[in-house]
Structure 1
Amino acid sequence: MGEQEGEGTSFEYTPTRVVAAVCTVMVCASLAIERFLHYAGKKLTKDGRKPLFQALQKVKEELMLLGFISLLLSVCQSRIVTICVDEDIMKHFLPCALPDDKDHPNILRHLLENTESPVGICAQKGNKVPLLSTEALHHLHIFIFVLAIVHVTFSVLTVIFGGAKIRQWKKWEISIKEDESDSSKAAEPEFTNVRDHDFITKRFMGLGKRSEALGWLRSFAKQFYGSVTEPDYCALRLGFIMTHCRGNRKFNFHKYMMRALEDDFRKVVGISWYLWIFVIIFLLLNIDGWHTYFWIAFIPFMLLLAVGTKLEHVIIQLAHEVAERHIAIEGELVVKPSDEHFWFHRPKIVRHFIHFILFQNAFEISFFFWILVQFGPHSCIMGKLIYIIPRLIIGAFVQVMCSYSTLPLYALVTQMGSNFKKSMFDEHVQAGLISWAQKAKKKNALTSTTTKRQDGSGSSDGDGGGGGPRDSGPDAELHGIHIATDSQQGT
């Protein structure tokens, strides 16, 4: 009594102690996660780590989106499983080949005879089957949840390990400031042969225009060992300071770089709409015999190598420009940052590539463990062992390489664009600039309204005498703000 064949016992006939126990466990787990995120946010706010706090808020948004997806699937489940379609439609574009009916006669007969099940309901309408079964809907629900959690976790681990690598460069920053403050070294600047400079020697090494291919090969190999050296850091740091803050030679470039990385992490940790589109395309192409799951693993691998090679080549280009332009220099060697060295002249494209690489790699790992847990190691979707091992090796390689090489390269080299990021300013300075811009906009709007009223009343004197100064004041303020806040964060 109270049971539906194939569906199990309903809520009406389930012991209350079981219901209460399950609810207690779920509520406690949810509250524990919520409290952990809350205290983590308070800690980040107290430490002044606003970008990381915003990244945490982004994680909460993703969890809220997952909760809504779960709710939507649960509410619509009873409707979806009763949508019936022709059986022939469901025999194509399958992840696994259909087994012969003779291999599963009892299961098929049981489903067709159970008129209260979705299969039985559709069978009464003729040669029909459910569009999506309850079990398949449940598996899809779990996969989306696992994918989001793994992506957030992998992104956090990448930034933690990458940040640890970048923090090792702090000793170079300290060493540079000690050298600059050493009064004994404040002597007359001397002429130096450019080719004898460590940065040029290790990066340029006589490469000319005819050796472009050799430069790319060297860039490809360099990302695997010593991707950033002390001469690289010193040269790029000085180039940034002389371009963007020439009057402040004591500018803490390392601190700025860490703030910029934290700010970018806030954008990387989320799952953007185009990433969800990629998931849908993969689910569409995951057809039996195509081995899509195997071939798609090479996308983040190849893209990661391309990004690392490009970032290394930017450093070589900077060294090449100096070596081609000068034979000897007086004083320090200064490189010239420029957007021209990056893809489509936009350094921030690299961040989008890294975002996609991290998501794609998380997708590969989450899909593997989801198949392993849900269907077992011998599932047809999992494939043969010859396909499984390369996927796992590639996934581990991408994660380690992105953490210890590509991300530190990105943090340093993308500062070599034509503009600097808003992380140049401390939090209170950013807030002050934004407040100033808002006040200037209000003042400009008020001035424009006053001018229109004067025009309507026929006051030609007001137009001729006051138009110039009125326009130049607020517009000048707004123009200065745009330079300091908007256009300067082009990277």
Structure 2
Amino acid sequence: MAGDKGETSREIDQTPTWAVAVVCAIIIIISIALEKVLHRVGTWLTDRRKKALYEALEKIKAELMILGFISLILVFSQYYIAEICIPIRVANTMLPCSLKAKEDKENTKGDDGHRRLLWYERRVLAGGKEAKCKEDHVSLISVDGLHQIHILVFFLAVLHVIYSALTMVLGRLKIRGWKQWEEETSSSDYEFSNDPSRFRLTHETSFVRAHTSFWTRVPLFFYIGCFFRQFFRSVSKSDYMTLRHGFISVHLAPGSKFNFQKYIKRSLEDDFKTVVGVSPVLWGSFVVFLLLNVNGWKALFWASSIPLIIILAVDTKLQAILTKMALDITERHAVVQGIPLVKGSDEYFWFGRPQLVLQLIHFALFQNAFQITYFLWIWYEYSLNSCFHENYKVVIAKTCLGYASVPHRFFTR
């Protein structure tokens, strides 16, 4: 290996100038093309007065800039970090894979062993020189390990942006389906069926009838019912019409013509501006997971369960809010005139903070993106049957569940 390394690993002074020029030119062209594309997208959003989406694009640029700084720091400091030596007994604590698993892997023969040999050669060429530590000491992190961290961070930044954009697209598709309901509000049939002079009992209205029953007045059964209702009901026509009527009655003059569907679409863009970025708290959760990903602690299982728990909790809360609105209508009036009037209030939300729901969605999106990233990174670096995945089929199932559930549920209720 040492002799081969001397033959194949060459520095710039022994590399053809055309090879250096071609590689640099390709990197520069790709970088300039990406910058031009982002600039054109920003101009297009500005021309169409999409202020929220433009701010989201600026956050994506900032995230790419942070990624560039991380890459620069890792490249510049990799050899200095690798020269930090620690005792072997300390290095063998809190390992993501057991030492026995690594020994079994190294003793494996045949084609798979040949594949790992080629892999090792490639990594040595990528890493270059290794640090020299005294006896019973090893590097804090090898150059090879720093290179793997570099790839993991790159995967995470790219997939988080893609995952957030996919959620935005699915949310817009869901809202587009409400356009027909909005158009119905301008028809004569709608005005006749919702005549303000028409009186009805509150329990006869479709909104109250859909969200109340005998169990809604019992606290225990109230939340149990809301939990199971989320699996069978999204936003119905009666929900949309009632919320639209309540919004217009509070914020606009009676009889005003207002496109509530476009308002929701703009609100979705404002929410996307929030969830597309990576806050220090999210980066902190990334570091905490890397710290707790110890062999036997099942950190991967618990981390993949957190987004699912958040999804179910948020969906249950949103169903509970609609149900409480319906109950408030029945408590205020025995008879309702026209469409029942709902009154939105921050008190319906946890701690009176509606933004907390959006923050939880943001956290769940990031965690799901991270779980997908971590799965793909392990697949790329170590293969599916590595020690990181004791049962990789279960890991695939959990990853797919989280990937499918968040975009489908969030921004669609």
Deviation, 1:302, is 1.0
Report the RMSD for the aligned CA atoms in angstroms: 2.6
Please tell me whether residue 237 in structure 1 is matched to residue 238 in structure 2.
no
Distance in 2 between residues matched to 1:186 and 1:202, nearest whole Å: 18
* TM superposition shift of 1:244: 2.3
Asked if the contact 1:204/1:323 (under 8 Å) is kept, the reply is no
Aligned residue number for residue 33 of structure 2: 32
Would the alpha carbon gap of residues 6 and 373 (structure 1) be closer, same or farther in structure 2, given more than 3 Å must change? farther
Shift of 1:264: 1.5
Query: Deviation string for 1:168-211 (max 9, x for gaps)?
Result: 112111211334995x789771321111111111111344522x
C-alpha deviation, 1:285, in angstroms: 0.5
* CA-CA distance at 1:247 after TM superposition: 4.8
Structure 2 SS opposite 1:122: coil
Q: In 1, Cα distance between the equivalents of 2:196 and 2:355?
A: 40
198, 204, 217: which is aligned to 1:190? Answer: 198
The equivalent residue for 1:176 is 185
Report the alpha carbon displacement of residue 101 of structure 1 after superposing the two structures with TM: 11
Between the aligned partners of 2:193 and 2:31, the Cα distance in structure 1 is: 60
Alignment pair present for 1:258 and 2:265: yes
Distance 1:152 1:208, change over 3 A: closer
Residue 110 of structure 2 is matched in structure 1 by: none
Shift of 1:96: 1.1
| Structure 1 residues 64 and 103: alpha-carbon distance in aligned structure 2, compared to 1, 3 A threshold | closer
> Residue type matched to 2:133 in 1?
C
> Greater CA deviation, 186-195 or 341-350?
186-195
* Residue type of the alignment partner of 2:224: L
- Is 1:122 the counterpart of 2:133? The answer is yes
1:265-276 correspondence to structure 2 within 5 Å:
265-276=272-283
Cα 1:80–1:248 change in 2 (3 A) is: farther
Q: Distance in 2 between matches of 1:189 and 1:303?
A: 43
**Which of 397, 402, 408 does residue 404 from structure 1 map onto?**
408
Q: Percent identity?
A: 38
3-state SS of the aligned residue for 1:227? coil
User: Do residues 209 (structure 1) and 217 (structure 2) align?
Assistant: yes
Counterpart code for 2:202: V
Q: Is the 8 A contact 1:285 1:292 kept in 2?
A: yes
Q: For residue 396 of structure 1, report the CA deviation from its aligned partner.
A: 3.0
Q: How many residues align?
A: 391
CA distance in 1, matches of 2:216, 2:382: 56
Give 1:292 shift. Answer: 1.1
Q: TM-score, normalised by structure 1?
A: 0.74
Task: Give the Cα separation in 2 of the matches to 1:100 and 1:205.
Answer: 62
Closer/same/farther in 2, CA of residues 227 and 148 from structure 1, 3 Å limit: same
Contact 1:194/1:200 (<8 A) preserved: yes
- What's the CA shift for 1:40? 1.1
Larger mean CA deviation between 151-160 and 6-15 belongs to: 6-15
Structure 2: stretches of 5+ with no match in the other structure:
108-116, 118-127
Q: For residue 74 of structure 2, what is the amino acid of its counterpart? A: L
| Candidates 130, 135, 146, aligned match of 2:144 | 135
How far did residue 4 of structure 1 move?
6.8
Deviations 1:389-431 (A, max 9, x none): 3323323332xxx32333121xxxxxxxxxxxxxxxxxxxxxx
Aligned to 1:485: none
Q: TM-score, normalised by structure 2?
A: 0.88
Partner of 2:347: 340
Report the counterpart of residue 446 of structure 1 in structure 2.
Answer: none
Equivalent runs, 1:97-112 vs 2, <5 Å: 97-98=98-99, 99-100=102-103
1 or 2 for the larger relative contact order (CA 8 Å, sep ≥6)? 2
Q: What is aligned with 1:324? A: 331
Q: Is the 8 A contact 1:84 1:122 kept in 2?
A: yes
Which shifted more, 335-344 or 22-31? 22-31
Gaps of 5+ in 1: 108-115, 410-491
Q: Report the equivalent of 1:159.
A: 168
